[in-house]
Every structure is written in structure tokens, then in C-alpha cells.
Amino acid sequence: MATIYTQKGEETVCDLIDGTSAVVLSAANAKIGWGTGAGTAAKGDTALFTEAAEARVVPAVSQVAPDKLQWVGLLTAASGKTITNAGLFDAASGGNLIVHGDHAGVVLAAGDKIEYTITLEQT
């Protein structure tokens, strides 16, 4: 399993720091989405492998340490599918993929849920 702070994520955070961007990763803008398809998360990723049809969800956002942020989101399957990856975005659709993680496929039936916790630590 790989969880990657993407290149676009790093650029987005730098833009926030230098004031080039005003889109913060609060519950107002941050969204968690999931996807199907095979692959390994990589630094240059800009999208999920195959984003699932369900809308991205608004996560609960917290600062769990002075240098660590956390986003927690619960997604619900509208139909049967196998979920293999998830990511943190800065928009409800399109936008930038900030963190991308892959995992072994989880087979879901309609109504099944997965809760993702995405943590980003500045080191």
C-alpha cells in the first residue's frame, strides 16, 4: 500500500503559504473521493485510478498536532464495486489531488461504507 503526498499537493500547500491561492483545505473545500481500478499511488498522480460515481464527501478536519492535519470522511457505495484507492482533493469535482493512497481491493455492495482517515504531517 502506498500513500503519497502528491507533487500537486506540495505545490498547492506552497501556494497557500505564499498567498498565491486562497483555497484552503478546510471542510469548506477539502473533499475525499474513492476509486476503482488497479495501480500504485505515485508522486505525479493528478487523479484517482478510476474515480467512482459517488460524490466526494466533506471530511471532518482537525489539527491533531502542531505540524499534522487530519481529514476523515465516510463514503457509501451506491452500487456494488471494488474500491482500490482514495484521495484528498481541494474541490468537489476536478481540483487538485493532494494526497493519494491505494490499498487492496475492498468489495462493496450497495450501502456498504468505508471511512478514510488521511493524515498529512509537515516534516
**Single pTM value for the model:** 0.94
**Domains of the chain: total:** 1
Segment 57-67, tens digit of pLDDT: 999 999 999 99
Concatenated DSSP letters for the chain? --EEE-HHHHHHHHHHHHTS-----STTT-EEEEEES-----TT--S-SEE-SSPPBPPEEEEEETTEEEEEEEEE-SS-EEEEEEEEESSSSSS-EEEEEEEEEEEE-TT-EEEEEEEEE--
1 band by pLDDT with thresholds 50, 70 and 90: low
Mind listing the pLDDT tens digit for each residue in 31-59? Answer: 999 999 999 999 999 999 999 999 999 99
Residues 91-107, mean pLDDT to the nearest whole number: 96
- Binning pLDDT at 50, 70 and 90, where does residue 77 land? very high
Residue 66 makes CB contacts below 8 A (sequence gap 6+) with none
Owning domain of residue 25: 3-121
